[in-house]
Every structure is written in C-alpha cells, then in structure tokens.
Structure 1
Amino acid sequence: MRWKCRVCFDYDLCTQCYMHNKHDLAHAFERYETAHSRPVTLSPRQGLPRIPLRGIFQGAKVVRGPDWEWGSQDGGEGKPGRVVDIRGWDVETGRSVASVTWADGTTNVYRVGHKGKVDLKCVGEAAGGFYYREHLPRLGKPAELQRRVSADGQPFQHGDKVKCLLDADILRDMQEGHGGWNPRMAKCIGQMGTVHRITDRGDVRVQFSHKTRWTFHPGALTKALGHIGRVLKVFGDGNLGVLVSGKLWTFSPSCLVAYRPEEDANLDVAERARENKSSLSVVLDKLRAQKSDLEHPGRLVVEVALGNVARALDLLRRHPEQVDTKNHGRTALQVAAYLGQVELVRLLLQARAGVDLPDDEGSTALHYAALGNQPEAARVLLSSGCGANTLNGTRSSALHVAVQRGFLEVVRVLCECGCDVNLPDAHADTPLHCAISAGTGASGIVEVLTEVPGIDVTATNSQGFTLLHHASLKGHTLAVRRILARARQLVDAKKEDGFTALHLAALNDHREVAQVLIREGHCDVNVRNRKLQSPLHLAVQQAHVGLVPLLVDAGCSVNAEDEEGDTALHVALQRHQLLPLATDGAGGDPGALQLLSRLQASGLLGSTELTAGAAVACFLALEGADLSYANHRGRSPLDLAAEGRLLKALQGCAQHFRERQAGGGGGAAQGPRLALSAPNTVTNLHVAAPSGPEAAECLVCSELALLVLFSPCQHRTVCEECARRMKKCIRCQAAIGKKLRPDGTEVVSAAPAPGPPRQLVEELQSRYRQMEERFTCPICIDSHIRLVFQCGHGACAPCGAALSACPICRQPIRDRIQIFV
C-alpha cells in the first residue's frame, strides 16, 4: 500500500500540506494502490515526540497568497484577515478551503489546496493539532524514483545516447507527473535513443526513431557512451577489459551492450558513421590534420579540404577511379561544394564525380553547397544536372537547408535554377514555412520565395497550418501581405480547431498582422472557432489590451457569446484582475494608449488605478457591451463585478454609451468604424482603380452614368440607382456614411423593408434562446427543468433522478427540489 497526498499529489505523507488542514490523516491522504505494493512495518508511536501543527488553521492571520485572483476583496494588497473556519473538504470540492473575515468585515471562502491553488499566505500562525514526524515514513518508493543528478546539476545533455533498462511496471509509476505513461513506451525499453531536449521541469525528451519521441523521468534513463570497442580480456571477477579508441578500459558487463554490425560492415565503417554526426568543421580539421600515405584512397578528399588544386589534379590523373572515394564519410565533391572551391568542383565534375552521391545521412553535394553558403558552387552543380530536389535523411531539400540557415543568395540561386519551392519536409513544412519560422531576419528570403511564379501559397503542414496561419502565428507581417496578395481567399480559412489567421494573430498579440488582415485582407472579424470564440474573446482572454480597440473598431461584436455563453465582457471580468496597466504609456503600445485615451476622454474613471481586466471591461461597456447579458451559468457582468468602484465605473460607461447613441454621435475619439462582415465572393475579385477622377461605368450594372462619391472612403464605383441600395463600398468594404452626387447633393438611401430593424430582431431571438436554455434540461435538451439541486442548477425529472453529481458544476447532489411551473 502506498499513500498519496491529495493536495500536492506526491507519493509521500506530506507534512507541509497536512499543516494546512484540520483533519485526521485518514482524511488528508488517500490510499494509492499499485500492483507491486508491499506492507511497511511502522515503529510504535509510544515515546515518539509529539509536534504541534501550526499554520493556516482557525484563528490564523493571513494576507493574499500567490494564486490570488479575487481583486480587492481583501481590502487591498497587504491587508490582513482572520481565518474563521476550515471547511468543505468533502462537501464543497474535495479539496481544502478556508473561510476568512477581512478588516472591512466581509467574509469569503478561499482556496488552500483546491485544484492545486493557494489563495492565502500565513502571516500569523495558529495551532491545529499534533503530528509525529518519525511516524511519517516514505512508503514504497523504489530507488529508481530518486532523481539522479550529476555533479554539474544536469545528468543529460542534448545528443546523449540513453536507454531505459527498468521494468515496465516501475517505469509506469515513475512517469506519473513526468510526461505520463503510454503502453507503447514499453516497446522502447532496452532500445538506444537520443536525447532530443531537456524540458523546463528537468524531464528528458528522447528520440527513438524518426517519428517516435517520449518524455522520461531522468531517473529512468541510463546514459550510454556510444563508443564501440573490442573485448580483449575477461577478469576473474567477471569484469571486462575493453579497448576503446586505443585505450584499455575495465567495465562491468552491465554497462555494456553487444554491438551487432551488418554482415558487410566492420569497425572502421561504424566509427565513420559515428563521426559523421559530428560537425563539419571538426571533420574538416581532422581531414586537414590527416597524415596518410599519398597513395591512400581517401587522399583526394584531404587535398580538396586543403585546397590543393594541383595535387588533386595529379591524383585524379593517376587514380581516376578514386574520384568518389569517401574519407570520414564525405566525398571530395561534397567537401569542395561546402568550402565553395568552384575550380575544384568543376575539376571533379569533369572527372565524372557522382554529382548526386549521398553521404551517410543522405545529403548530396548540393546540400553541402547550401550548408556552406556557397551560391556559386550551387549554380555550377545545378548547371551540371544534379538533382535539385533530392531529399536527405531528414527529408530536407537543399532549399530547405539554405532557408533554415538564412542564406539569402543561395536561396536566390536555387529558386532561379528551378528548385521546387513547394516541396514538403518531414513535417510537411515547405521552404516558405521554414522562412516564416525564422522570423523577420529572413524577410529577404520570404520576398524571394513569394516571387517564384509556381509557389503554392495554399500549402498546409502536418499541424494543419496554411502559410497564412503560420505567418499570423509567428507575427510575420511581410509574409501575411505577400500571401494575401496571391491568395486573398485564404483570409478566413479555418484550421481543424476553427482558428483563422485573425484568431492566431489575436491570441499571440500580433497587432500589425491583425491590422493587415482586417484592412488589406478584409477578413471576417466575427468569425468563430470551434469553441465559438471570436478574435475579440481571445484578445481579452490573453489581456492583449492593445488589440481590443482595433478589433472593436473593425466591427467585432462586443456581445457575441462563446460556447459557455460568455461575452468578451464576462471574460474581462473573470481574468487578469491583478495585471497592472500603466497609465503613463501602457508600455508604448499604441493600441493600449488608444484604449486609455478613450476611457480618460469619457471622464468617468477619474484617478482610479486600473488593472488590465478593469480597463478592458470599462472600454467594452463604453462600446456597447451588455452589462445584464447572462451566460449559460446564469451570471451577468453585473454579477461578476463584485467590487463597488468597478461596478460604478461599468455602469457609468454603459450610460455614456446610451447617451452617445441617443445623441447620434460616435464620439470624437472614435473616428469612422469599419463594420466588416463575412466577405462577399464578388468583392474578392480585384477591382481596378479608375484611371481618372471618375470610372467609365458603374461596376454593378455597367451603365454609363454619373457615379456617386462614397464617404468616408472617397471611392466612386457605382451609379446613383445602385448606390441607393448599398451599405458598404464595393471596393474597400468600408461602411458608407454619405453618398454624394457630382453636384454635392446627398443621395437618399432606399427605404428599409417594413417591420422591426434587423438588429432588434436578432437581439430578441438571442434573448429568447437564452431564456429557453435556462428552462431546458441540460442533459436531454428536450424537456423542461423540473428538479433543482442545492447548487442552483437543475434537470428534468427523468434525468435528474439518476444523477449523483450536478452536470454543470460537478458538485455532489444532496437535495432535489421539485418545481411546478
């Protein structure tokens, strides 16, 4: 039997966590059974010292702790409170909660372990029982679970060869909290892997094959030296004398693994394969320092590495059959291409060197020219007919290599000579995907790649990212512009999760990219992902304050709801209450400055110190967000704004919006707003700019007529008859404010169809759906709610009778109240 702490989830009886709780050990810890549990004998408790527990117990003095998310409920930073009760261990949430009374007299319940969160910090301890330190053993923990750390503090490094030599059952226990367990990991036990990276927590990511990577607890791995040797002697104690790199070492047999080469391989081939993984600079140094016989078959590679044209020519005349002989795994042509020795490249090609001969990793001479940043060598190789699109062992072409290294001139030569710019690598990334990943430093490469006539800008990688998605994710504005210029139809394309390019830009605070997508791409700013989140939801969720006014001004709905019924205002009030917002410049973000200036212009906030959540919430209320809009849990923004000052500010902003609407003014600070909707396929077509002050004919009816001037965009595109029915400019999709004839008089819009305004109808329909959801059973979504639980949620009679926990908040159901409505 083993024990598991229910607060920190460690496998030991955790005294630190126990001090937070006023319960017996039986309540503070739950049993944790394993297949290999063994009983542990405990010493008698009699005679052991009894230590009093002190910490967050009834009567303790506390202040806000590291996970505080509750605004100014405590009266402000540093204000103390007194714990009046520890409760809710089983009834509330299954975790510890404390009831605290603050100096201003308010009382609330806070987390002291629930979901791993601690809202309180103890500044005045209180007593809460006793415990026996010597009676809290470490139970059932095998030695392998102890983390092995070397003298330098880091047991493994990138590139180390490692093996897992543990039993699957022990490994499964160790993996909890360290990458998790997957039954397929058992297949890798005993296999050699390579350390891919070390995670932030110190766990080890190991690559076993091209597509297989697992994260391991570092204590589960054994480092392999990776050298190959010969057993020369077996000692009497069973140890082995092994010759490795010319030196005799003594090893325990458990440290060694038998090496079984292929039938036609030998030790020298294996050594060369291992050395091939080292850097090219090291290999070149070894070649140049090599003092072999002039008649040695690999001497030609040495002379090329040294740049001796005369000696290389002499060797080719005497031994032309050695032109493709390898030394340290490389041919002479590959070394010459890497070093940019164009004369030697031409000489070797004339001697019929294998232009597409791969090294041990599948790279050809063209790969080496790209790797060495040698554009002229690449041009010579391509003109000789080499394979321009050959893939190496990692499925990368020479163009991939040049892009990843940032070698602009090599990329230019490869594109000019016909290399395939659409070729995917092992992750289905095209060279343009790689260039975008390299950031703004590779902007020149992006320009070269996007100018290739045959480039496919609709390509999607293995993660489902189109090039436009990828550019928006990385914040590469130039790439976004170039891709939109070629494929405007991609602007609203969705990934499998429903994310568009604007979602990705909003999520990652790429304001300039969002501007391009809105103003040049005319994207749909109200598009939803699979969770029904708009870009505004994501920007508010991540506290990207500068993006909020941009999205709202572009027409993003402030009252759109996600799958939980939350509007952007709900999200703002639920998150980021402690993120400070600098009022003296907002970090230099022009969008944040714009938001602040609008709030200050309203005159409603005065000298109130703003947080990011409060500032965004007030701005949304100032732009028409509905304060009474209830989500699926029945909570409105008014319910969430518990703090008095914030509530008054929100109500003031909402009143200011209503007054502005009643007065028919948009406010001096706002300026014209682009109300963009889903783009029409007709407007996706390129509309040529008129050659003179007026176009020749109406772009809708094609009649020769005097055209109407739209304001504020100042475009003349349609005749007066067509203009009467239009609400947006056909060229730029901007909302039309005025329609002016050539003589300056205004064109009257067509009379709206009889009946209530469309916006009012949509709002009423939304309200009806909201009301219907409140009375409909959330399980069968068919019958009305007839049973209400103590948590406030409910269900219909057939569904509610079978429930043991609330389907909405997951609280256990103690009582069911039948209602008759």
Structure 2
Amino acid sequence: MAQDSLSCSVTLSPRQGLLRIPLRGIFQGAKVVRGPDWEWGSQDGGEGKPGRVVDIRGWDVETGRSVASVTWADGTTNVYRVGHKGKVDLKCIGEAAGGFYYKEHLPRLGKPAELQRRVSADGQPFQRGDKVKCLLDIDVLRDMEEGHGGWNPRMAEFIGQTGTVHRITDRGDVRVQFNHETRWTFHPGALTKHNSFWVGDVVRVIDDLDTVKQLQAGHGEWTDDMAPALGRIGKVVKVFGDGNLRVAVGGQRWTFSPSCLVAYRPEEDTNLDVAERARENKSSLSVALDKLRAQKSDPEHPGRLVVEAALGNVARALDLLRRHPEQVDTKNQGRTALQVASYLGQVELVRLLLQARAGVDLLDDEGHTALHYAALGNQPEAARMLLSAGCGADALNGARSTALHLAVQRGFLEVVRILCERGCDVNLPDAHANTPLHSAISAGAGANGIVEVLTEVPGINVAAADSQGFTLLHHASLKGHALAVRRILARARQLVDAKKEDGFTALHLAALNNHREVAQILIQEGRCDVNVRNRKLQSPLHLAVQQAHVGLVPLLVDAGCSVDTEDEEGDTALHVALQRHQLLPLVADRAGGDPGPLQLLSRLQASGLPGSSELTVGAAVACFLALEGADVTYSNHRGRSPLDLATESRVLKALQGCAQRFRERQAGGGGSAVPGPRHVLSTPNTVTNLHVAATAGPEAAECLVCSELALLVLFSPCQHRTVCEECARRMKKCIRCQVVINKKLRPDGSEVASATPAPGPPRQLVEELQSRYRQMEERITCPICIDSHIRLVFQCGHGACAPCGAALSACPICRQPIRDRIQIFV
C-alpha cells in the first residue's frame, strides 16, 4: 500500500543475516482471470478466459501498485483494479516473481511507542522542466487518461517522444509540452523521466535567477557564487544517479538540476513554446539592461552611448553623438543604442539616433533589429518612427520571426495595428510555419482584438497551413476560437470542409475538443458537411461520442449527422457510446450550464427514461441515439451489435425501450418521445448487416431486394422497413427477421395488397426478374475469379471467395490494405 503524506513510520534494525524470501503473486507476467470485484462485462473474452499482466502501477500520485494492465487472449489490453479504492478485479492463477522480502525484518505494527507521525518529504514525482516520455501502449494510456486529462487520439502521435514538464496540476496530473504549441495532460503513472543530457553535451544555464533558485532546491542547492553561470554556455562533465548534472561553466564546476539547463543550439529550443520564449527573451533583456545601468565605465568609453540610452539620459546621449558621431552604432552587451531606446520607448532619443544615421537594420546576437525591440517592448510610437525611417518591416530574427510575430505573441494590440497599417506581411511563416494569425488564435479570446486587426488586412491568406498541416480554420477550430472561425468563414467559406492529411475537417476538430460554439458556427454559418469522415471513416458524431462530449451530440444529430454511419471498424456512434465511458457518472454538474447536456437529458426524461443519477454517460448517449433512430441491431465488422455490447440488464432494457419508442413514433403510434428531426440513415457497407436502416419518415431509401430508391413499406408486427411496395406485394415473411407479415403499410398509412398469382408471368416480368437475379448474383460473386461466391469480407466492406481472398494484401476494389477477413456463411 502506498504511503500518504500523513502515514506513520517505523524505525527498523539492520537486516543483516536475515532470510530472503521470494515474493510471488500478481506481478508482471502473472496469469490471471476475472476476480471477485469484476464488473467489466466480457472484456476478458468470457468468464474463465485467462490474461497476462503486462504492468503494475499506481492509479494516481497517492497510490502505488493499485492497478494492473492485462492483455487478454484476443489481444486487447485494459487496466484493472488490484487494490484501487478497495476493489480487486483479478484473480491469480499463475504466479510471477516480484522481488524479495524479509519476513523476520517486517515490523509489528500497533504499538504506540514504535509509531511516529511524519510528513513525507518526497514531494511530486515530477518537477517543472523535467524531460519525460510516455512508453505505454495506446490502449493502456487511453484507459489511464480517464479522469486525468482525458484521451485524445492525437496523443498517440507523441508516445515515445520526449517532452518537457510544463506544470503539475492541482490534482497531481502532469502537463507536458512537446513542441511550441502542443501540450497534453498525462496521468503521472504514464510517464517516465528521461535524462536528455549526457557527459560531453553542451548546455546553456537558464538566466532567470528566481526560477533557478527554486529548481535547485534539493538538486545541488543554490549559492550566490553560482550567479555568474546564469545564461552561460557550459559542458556536462558528470551525470549523477539522481539525474543531477555536474556542469563546467567558465572554469568553475557546479551541480545543476537538469531543469535549469537547456540544450545549446543556435536556434531557439523547440521544446519551449511561444510564451516560454517570450519570458526568456524578456528576462534576458531585463538582465542586460540592469548590467548596462550598473556600468561605471569611463564617459568616453565607446559603448557609453548604449548606457545612456538604457538610463534614458537624452541630453548626455546627444552630447556623445555630437562629440563621437562615429560611435552611433557601437554595441554594448550585444546591443546598439537604437535597439535599447526602441525597446524602452525613448521616442526623442530614437528620433535623435535616426537623425544621426543609426543603422535601423543592424542585428543583435539573436538576429533582432530595432523594430523587433520596439515590438518586444510594446512601443507603437517607436515602431512607427522606425518604419517611417525605412527599416525592414519584415526582417526575420534567428527564430525566423518578424516584429509582427513578436507583437502578436505578446498580445501588443497597438503595435500589431501599426505594423499592419504600415504594410508588414501578415502571411510570413515563422520557423514552425505559423503565421501571425496562427499565433493570435493560440493566444485565445484575450487576443480577439488582434484577430480582428489581422483578418481585416486585405491581403491575408486565410488558407495558410502550419508545419502540421493545420490551416487557419483548422487551427481556430482546434483551439475553440469562435471569432477567428467566423472571420475566416466570412472570407473563404469554401474552406469549411477542407481536410488535413488525416482526413480531419474543422468540424472534426471542434467535435473532438468539445468546442460547441465553434461547431454551431461551422454548421449554421459555414454550412459544413456534418457527415464528412476522416481517414478512419469517423464522422464528427463518432468523435463527440468517443470523447463523451454530451453537449455536442444533440447539436450534431439535430444538424443531420447520420446516426448509423460506420467507422473503419464497422462501429456506429451507438457502438462507440457503449464501448466507452461506462464508469463515468452523468451527474448534473457535468452540464455546467451548457444547453447541450441539458437538452439531451431533457429529451431522455421526456421519454420516461431514468434520470441523470441512474445513467452513465455512455448509456445516456446510447439511449439518446436510439431515440433518434440509431439501429440497436446494427452489427460491426466483428459481428457485434449495440445490444450485444449492453451487458448491464438495466442499460439493455433502456436501449430496447428507446428503440421501441422510435418505431412507435415512426408508425404514428403516439410514443412519448420528443419529436426530433428527420434523418436519412446510411446504408451499411458490409454484408454483416442484411438490411438498410429504417428511415425516419416517408423519404426515399434503397430497397433491399431491387436496390431501387423508393418509399419503403412498413411491415407489421415487426415494424421493419426494408423493401419497396412492388417487392413487398410478393413477400410473406420479413427478410430481415423472418417474422410472418400481417400487414404491409405505405408511408401514408394505407395497406398494400398482396400480389395474386397470375396464370402465367408476362415475358417482361420474367426478363426483369432474371435481370435482378443476375444483379444479385454479381453482388455475391467473387470479383477476382468470377466463379465462386464471396465467402470472405474485408474491413472495407468488399469481399472475395476463400481461395482468392486468402492471397490478397489489398482490396481489389478500393485498394485499402486488408487487416481483417470475416468469414461469412450464406
């Protein structure tokens, strides 16, 4: 059991000479079956089916060895409790070794004299600046992220990559920075510290004094003698076992926490985001200015003009310019007087220096010009004067950023306005292919004014994409920036359905990240395609359901998002709802005032279903989808329907009740469900579903027999709509459920009469039936050999006979790689 911050300690004697006993049980490699507290349905493949433990860890910071990752015979991996909250989901049937213990050395607890209360000094397992990696399988990480930042499919891209700990949340979760704009929140148990420095590496000590003092606590500590090393370049000469580093800097050797060091590169460290770089630059400038102001050099020193600029002494600076005009561009601390005056907003001094022909485009050590300095210092008037003097408006610094980039990143609206009015290029990308508008969107609602200014520039390219393929509309949808989405759509509505390389559109990104307002704008103002699918064939509804974004589900369904669209696994949104979030309670405070969740709950309650306290998120969303016409018998590529996945009897009963209410509503039977919008549901693309989904109203759909688009007939008592009127006349049983048909009803409620046998079929009818038969024969004939019937179906929905299908690596129809082969028997 893990020790909390107020647990008791016991003083022990040395254990020399005591017997060491092997420890065996549920450890890595152990063979297990479901245990006494199992409540996970058939995740293990069925009772008695064994699995193997692949990892043991703590569920959170406060508990250790409380959950186990188990891989079952079907290859699936999930996390189970082995002590978490007092529950044990597993039973050991094959022990594994787990180290050793010393029986005679274990203390006898319960004696007050032996107990002392103490506070744990261990602190957090991670600190800001630590280099970390996630080395877990995707399935394990997905389960661990529930309740700890949540799972996003894009997190899979960063498994195995090194990131930097940005901060520790109040709950103990770890916020990790991977590049200049990507951060993910991880369960602390999912991360492993990574030592990114080794002996011989060249590093730079960060120059923020207060930060270094904090980071050095417990890691080599801090002394004032170390101050000269700040901001300096050094070399790692030793790596200690605890991760601390011995660094040689300027002839001295100091022990530093790795958090105090960054890899030395000519360009900026790509693991630091825009805000981090902004703080670092500002700190560097502040240190440089302090050093300039503290200089006691000779008044005739060549760099004295820069000192006077830092002090704001216009009269002395003017005197120096008159006596030594040749020193106008002399540098001190790597900067010219014009750069310092521009940063400080010394407008009169800037004017004097420009009159003295100061170099407006001279660079400092980081590639900054005077205009960059005006942007860094939020000095719009200085920027205006420099631009009027003919400085390079689009000069790039060492990080390939213009002055406009810097002003946008720091939120300096007036500087941005001046730069845009004077013709700065708003489309130039920085080192990460970000335009200024990308950076403004990343800053959130606080930069709305800047977004307005940038999007009003006539020549702005709203189709620009960054290094990750995000256009400005994608980026705004990802960040939930409603104003930017609205402004971009006003300029180029044709971008609304543009796809990234992975097939994601703006609506996919809004649905994935629960940006309801953005989704509304894309649907209502952008008139986007709500049924667009990404490369994994997921619709926005799939993603909203997968992430348990309850408020988005009614919005997407009401906008016409098909409830029976398949993803690449053949799963509909209803399958996804029942596979995810089974343990997340749908409590009232999840609504948080958002009308979406309240709308979903009110529709369920109006249908007489259990209240929010009795349903989980997955069950509630599933019931809502069933009320809106989702097919509860729709089979995925594994042959499993939503009814098969609803393992709890309460959920199964509620799901069946919702489906019945939908059928009653369609048949005009009155039902208590709240009327919803009409949907034309998609046709299955696999032969595992021998039907088309029922349409919600008298709208054309494909007849299963003749494949013609027509108004389908409602069969009674089974309530299925599968064929057109012409085909229905000759049918005695429903081809979907094989129930005897009592009535055949048209959409207007009138009854279809059964066909009376004719003395002999007319020639035209015979030829038509023969033609239909040939079409049906072609559908079930192997497209390769054209001899045998299809017996194997691929995940894409196409198929082949067994001999031909076994030898294929790609589908001969659509060329998709073949991952699964489903054998059918028809």
- TM-score tier, shorter chain, comes to 0.5 to 0.7
Over 3 Å counting, the alpha-carbon distance change for 1:60 and 1:155 in structure 2 is closer
- 1:88 corresponds, among 50, 57, 63, to 50
Q: Is 1:530 the equivalent of 2:507?
A: no
Normalised by the size of structure 2, how large is the TM-score? 0.60
Structure 1 residue aligned with 2:198: 221
Structure 1 residue aligned with 2:327: 322
Over 3 Å counting, the alpha-carbon distance change for 1:360 and 1:62 in structure 2 is same
Over 3 Å counting, the alpha-carbon distance change for 1:491 and 1:226 in structure 2 is closer
Over 3 Å counting, the alpha-carbon distance change for 1:783 and 1:466 in structure 2 is farther
Over 3 Å counting, the alpha-carbon distance change for 1:292 and 1:155 in structure 2 is farther
TM-aligned CA deviation for residue 311 of structure 1? 0.4
TM-aligned CA deviation for residue 121 of structure 1? 3.0
TM-aligned CA deviation for residue 589 of structure 1? 2.0
Q: Is 1:509 the equivalent of 2:514?
A: yes
Q: Is 1:355 the equivalent of 2:360?
A: yes
Q: Is 1:197 the equivalent of 2:159?
A: no
Q: Aligned with 1:663: secondary structure?
A: coil
Rounded to whole Å, the distance in 2 between the matches of 1:293 and 1:273 is 35
The answer for unaligned runs of 5 or more in structure 2 is 1-17, 57-67, 102-120, 139-161, 180-191, 206-225, 230-234, 239-245, 252-263, 269-279, 683-696, 714-720, 725-734, 737-771, 794-798, 810-817
Q: Aligned with 1:479: secondary structure?
A: helix
Q: Is 1:500 the equivalent of 2:467?
A: no
TM-aligned CA deviation for residue 651 of structure 1? 1.3
Over 3 Å counting, the alpha-carbon distance change for 1:773 and 1:515 in structure 2 is farther
Q: Aligned with 1:455: secondary structure?
A: coil
Q: Aligned with 1:617: secondary structure?
A: helix
Rounded to whole Å, the distance in 1 between the matches of 2:385 and 2:505 is 43
TM-aligned CA deviation for residue 606 of structure 1? 6.3
Over 3 Å counting, the alpha-carbon distance change for 1:578 and 1:339 in structure 2 is same
CA contact (8 A) 1:525 1:676 kept: no
Q: Aligned with 1:312: secondary structure?
A: helix
Instruction: Map 1:311-460 onto structure 2 (within 5 A).
Output: 311-460=316-465
Rounded to whole Å, the distance in 2 between the matches of 1:802 and 1:344 is 77
1:308-338: CA deviations, max 9, x gaps?
1110000001110100001001100000000
Rounded to whole Å, the distance in 2 between the matches of 1:781 and 1:472 is 48
Structure 2 residue aligned with 1:472: 477
CA contact (8 A) 1:203 1:217 kept: no
Task: Give me the CA root mean square deviation.
Answer: 5.6
CA contact (8 A) 2:792 2:805 kept: no
CA contact (8 A) 2:33 2:93 kept: no
Q: Aligned with 1:281: secondary structure?
A: helix
> How many equivalent pairs are there?
591
Rounded to whole Å, the distance in 1 between the matches of 2:175 and 2:590 is 41
Structure 2 residue aligned with 1:281: 286
Q: Aligned with 1:529: secondary structure?
A: coil
Normalised by the size of structure 1, how large is the TM-score? 0.61
Structure 1 residue aligned with 2:750: none
TM-aligned CA deviation for residue 647 of structure 1? 1.3
- 1:552 corresponds, among 557, 573, 583, to 557
Amino acid at match of 1:521: G
The answer for unaligned runs of 5 or more in structure 1 is 1-46, 75-83, 98-109, 137-149, 163-173, 181-194, 208-214, 228-242, 261-269, 678-736, 738-748, 812-817
- Range 638-647 or range 522-531, more displaced: 638-647
Structure 2 residue aligned with 1:40: none
Rounded to whole Å, the distance in 1 between the matches of 2:396 and 2:671 is 59
TM-aligned CA deviation for residue 604 of structure 1? 3.6
- 1:121 corresponds, among 78, 82, 92, to 82
1:317-366: CA deviations, max 9, x gaps?
11101000010011000000000011000000000000011111111000
Rounded to whole Å, the distance in 2 between the matches of 1:784 and 1:584 is 55
Structure 2 residue aligned with 1:643: 648
TM-aligned CA deviation for residue 511 of structure 1? 0.3
Instruction: Map 1:808-819 onto structure 2 (within 5 A).
Output: none
CA contact (8 A) 2:554 2:600 kept: yes
CA contact (8 A) 2:664 2:671 kept: no
Over 3 Å counting, the alpha-carbon distance change for 1:560 and 1:54 in structure 2 is closer
Over 3 Å counting, the alpha-carbon distance change for 1:361 and 1:280 in structure 2 is same
- 1:571 corresponds, among 550, 553, 576, to 576
Q: Aligned with 2:164: secondary structure?
A: strand
Instruction: Map 1:657-736 onto structure 2 (within 5 A).
Output: 657-663=662-668, 669-670=674-675
TM-aligned CA deviation for residue 197 of structure 1? 2.9
Q: Aligned with 2:532: secondary structure?
A: coil
Q: Aligned with 1:587: secondary structure?
A: coil
Over 3 Å counting, the alpha-carbon distance change for 1:787 and 1:393 in structure 2 is closer
Q: Aligned with 1:588: secondary structure?
A: coil
Q: Aligned with 2:288: secondary structure?
A: helix
Percent of residue pairs bearing the same amino acid type: 67
- 1:491 corresponds, among 472, 496, 502, to 496
Rounded to whole Å, the distance in 2 between the matches of 1:480 and 1:610 is 35
Rounded to whole Å, the distance in 2 between the matches of 1:779 and 1:421 is 55
CA contact (8 A) 1:390 1:398 kept: yes
CA contact (8 A) 2:25 2:98 kept: no
Over 3 Å counting, the alpha-carbon distance change for 1:774 and 1:224 in structure 2 is farther
Instruction: Map 1:732-811 onto structure 2 (within 5 A).
Output: 757=709, 784=789, 796-797=802-803
Rounded to whole Å, the distance in 2 between the matches of 1:132 and 1:629 is 45
Over 3 Å counting, the alpha-carbon distance change for 1:374 and 1:562 in structure 2 is same
Q: Aligned with 1:418: secondary structure?
A: coil
